[in-house]
Chain A
Amino acid sequence: MKTLCLKISNFFSNFREKLVIRRTMTLADGTEITKPKSYTLLSSLIILFIFIYFWNLIVSSFFQRFGFQFFITRIPNFFTILNAMVSEVNFSYFERVIDPLFVTIQISILGTFIGTLIALPIAFLASQNLMKNSKFPMMIKFGLSVIRTFPTLVYALLFSFIFGYGTFIGLLATIIFTFGIISKMMYEVIETIDLGPFIAIEASGASKLVAFRTSIIPQVIGRFYSIILYNFEINLRASAILGFVGAGGIGLILNDQMSLKEYGNVSMIVLSLLVVVIIVENISRFIRGKLS
């Protein structure tokens, strides 16, 4: 057993030695320069290997079971369904969509806003570069990973068990989800900035919090706006699913109409959401362009 392990590890170290390129070039006057070790080839091979393995696992097994023919012949079905959805759009259903759509927008705006407010101090405490010699960042980062593990839907479901159904549940779920993502995105930005100004303001006798407000915020505020707008878009899209667990908004009627097999109405709902998302995307792209 031991010799086997040794053999395996030997094999890998030999393998690595060969794949890690270390090229020496000689200049005209005989000076030699050696390029430092490069793991590019090794890592690309590993990625290729993983890719082929997963491809086999998922795609090949599908083809083996159903055949390639099946896959090709079924592709047009997608367009048939799409066509049916588009051609059957029930525009008159729009007046029933407006109210839930507004509820969805409200949840997204309020959820993004409150989530951001909570995220800001947490991102500050989670930034290792500001909190030198402190255990806070590690602990908070772990907590945030746990929070992000669960999708919005799970939170909505959880809250519906506790508080019952309704818009408020959707808002709570959106806040938590937004908080988890925005905190991470914010501390990642903070951890890349130039710390000089922060040190200078701290040296002037300011607390970390004051130094953060005065020297870090101006540096990161532009990127923070981008993060917030991006999360607002995500929340709008997620809202369609939120309604499935009774958390209010457009998802609620989407779920109803789907179970009633009223595809014309479903199309109208999806279409409305699509229009809103596109509008919001364009507004936020415009604002982000102005900011940078």
Chain B
Amino acid sequence: MIQFQQVSKTYPNGVQALKNVSLKVDQGEFVAIIGLSGAGKSTLIKLVNKMIESTDGTLLVNDQNVSILKGKNLRSFRRKIGMVFQSFNLINRTSVINNVLAARAADMNFFRTLFGLYSKDDKLQALESLHKVGILEKAYIRADQLSGGQQQRVALARTLSQNPSIILADEPVASLDPITANQIMKDFEKINKEENITILVNMHHVDLALKYANRVIGINNGEIIYDGPSEKITEDLLKKIYGRDLTDEDIMFKDK
């Protein structure tokens, strides 16, 4: 469970990215956060695993107060939270399986990691994660030789190998073509349903957000404009969230 209680974030340069945000996400929800770039979507997501620290309010994640987590506690807390990025952030010059193993390294003996001597069990787990997202046959190929969609799948497998209870996704499909984006969103949907993992995804493509998420949170200028089921969102609300009429840029499948 994720619970924001009047959380605010002001950056050192004075920009107030989030203003008194309160919301609650239950285990197993698929939530899309929509809004213009700069609205505070990314800040909201990064607060959850303390990539960014809040300046005010309380944030509870899995019954832990995030703001007091530090060092070892913070790291073991992060083990249960996966993260997927817009630019995939794979380690390019190494194999796909090594990418997945890197996300398991935190649980391993440091000397094993230091010399890259991963145990058979760890390797098997990594391969299982790759299998889950249907990319097992690429396990021994260098990560930078894959297409964008395949790279994002590897990133997803990497995150899954942590056995997370929450997955945070910061614009995961923004640099993909529409077809691939759709497939990746389907992967998220599958993971959400089959493993009951909470998914918090940032996106500016409204159509994809409404299609896959059960719940939508609309943010404008650091404030929540809408928070509710994706079916109940209206043109008017979208206008409020985006502060203007929707344009082609906000929709991935333009013909629909």
Q: Are A196 and B78 in contact (CB under 8 A)?
A: no
Q: Are A207 and B78 in contact (CB under 8 A)?
A: no
Which A residues lie within 8 Å of B158 (CB)?
Answer: 200, 204
Which B residues lie within 8 Å of A203 (CB)?
Answer: 49, 51, 78, 81, 83
Binds A, one of B18-26, B57-65, B102-110: B102-110
Is B9 part of the contact surface with A, judged by Cβ < 8 Å?
Answer: no
Quote the shortest CB–CB distance from B49 to chain A (angstroms).
Answer: 6
CA distance A199 to B162 in the complex (A): 15
CA distance A271 to B13 in the complex (A): 63
Contact with B along A7-30 (1 / 0, CB 8 A): 000000000000000000000000
CA distance A209 to B92 in the complex (A): 19
- Pick the residue among B92, B103, B114 that contacts A204 (CB under 8 A): B103
Which B residues lie within 8 Å of A221 (CB)?
Answer: 93
Q: Are B105 and A222 in contact (CB under 8 A)?
A: no
Q: Are B106 and A199 in contact (CB under 8 A)?
A: no
Which A residues lie within 8 Å of B89 (CB)?
Answer: 196-197, 199-200
Which residue of the partner chain B has the closest CB to A215? B91
Q: Are A204 and B93 in contact (CB under 8 A)?
A: no
Q: Are B90 and A197 in contact (CB under 8 A)?
A: yes
Which residue of the partner chain B has the closest CB to A209? B110
Q: Are A201 and B85 in contact (CB under 8 A)?
A: no
Contact with B along A166-201 (1 / 0, CB 8 A): 000000000000000000000000000010110111
CA distance A210 to B105 in the complex (A): 7
A positions within 8 Å CB-CB of B: 194, 196-197, 199-201, 203-207, 209-210, 213-215, 218-219, 221-222
Show 8 residue pairs from A and B whose CB-CB distance is below 8 angstroms, ordered by the A residue.
Answer: A197-B90, A200-B158, A203-B81, A204-B78, A205-B106, A210-B110, A219-B93, A222-B93
Q: Considering the complex of A and B, which 5 residue pairs feature the smallest CB-CB distances, nearest first?
A: A205-B78, A196-B89, A214-B102, A200-B89, A205-B79
